[in-house]
Amino acid sequence: MTLLQTAYLTIDDGANVGEFELSINLEETAEINKTFILSNRGQYIQEIYEQIVDDSDIATEQRRRGYHIDGGAGEWSHTLTFQTGLENVTWGDGSGGTGPDNVTENDASGENVNALSRKQVLENWVARTRTDSFGQAKLYWGEWSDGTYAAEAGAFGRPMNVAIREASLSSPEIDQDVNSFEGNLTVQRTSIFPEEVAETLDNAVELVEDALDGITDY
């Protein structure tokens, strides 16, 4: 089932999972940038070939074109633009209950919660968590759904595994009529490490952290 009105971003911090429901003025832009193993330099191969086959051609339709090899490298990113205010939404790990009197550093869910609280809770989640190929962050949006937030799964049957690359959260307007903030989240599609690779890398990260423990940055 397609998620048309609402996107859900989840972030796993190793102890709990924060869920963020993005629904007001939601817009999404996707960008795919391919990095070719062989790209513009493929023109030289084309030109050499043309010269060897027939060096009499001064003008040919093959000029300014070459051979390309796509090895799968590049970026597939999505930018979500949204607005949030006093509406009743899920916003964090649920540790605070609901409502403005139950906000914690990890949760600002419920109705009538101040937008500034929501902004600061979200930025705290994004800033302190690691999102990479260990699968901490997932985006449920459109056909990218496993049915967790909809009656049925979408066409792809799973959410996107993403790395959060950038978060731009504007300060909310504080007055009697407007209490919301606008945000832009840029995420990049990522692959998940195989289990055996993830275990090895996790151990390597721990070794580096232990080696750096106590060293002061200058």
Higher pLDDT, 118 or 209: 118
Q: Is the pLDDT of residue 57 over 90?
A: no
For β-strands 24-35 and 160-169, DSSP reports them as unpaired
Question: What is the C-alpha to C-alpha distance for residues 184 and 92, in angstroms, rounded to an integer?
Answer: 17
What average pLDDT does range 210-215 have in this prediction? Answer: 66
Burial annotation 149-171 (CB, 10 A radius, 16+ → b, else e): bbeebbeeeebbbbbbeebebee
What's the confidence (pLDDT) of residue 176? Answer: 52
Which amino acid appears at position 97 of this protein?
G
> Angle at the Cα of 191 (from 190 to 197), degrees rounded to 5?
130
**One-letter amino acid for residue 5 of the chain:** Q
Tokens of 2: 């397609």
**Pick the residue with more confidence: 186 or 198?**
186
Q: Work out the pLDDT band at 105, boundaries 50, 70, 90.
A: very high
Single-letter residue type at 65: R
pLDDT of 218 strictly over 60 = no
pLDDT digits (tens, 9 = 90+) for 7-21: 999 999 999 999 999
CA 47 to chain centre: 41
Choice among 70-74, 149-153, 161-165 with the minimum mean pLDDT: 70-74
Q: Which residues contact 60 (CB under 8 A, 6 or more apart)?
A: 50
Mean pLDDT in residue range 91-105? 93
| pLDDT of the residue at 208 | 64
Question: Would the pLDDT of 209 be above 70?
Answer: no
Would you mind telling me the total number of residues written for the chain in this entry? 218
Q: DSSP labels for 140-166?
A: EEETB--SSSSSS--TTSSPEEEEEEE
27-31 average pLDDT score: 93
Q: Is the pLDDT of residue 118 over 60?
A: yes
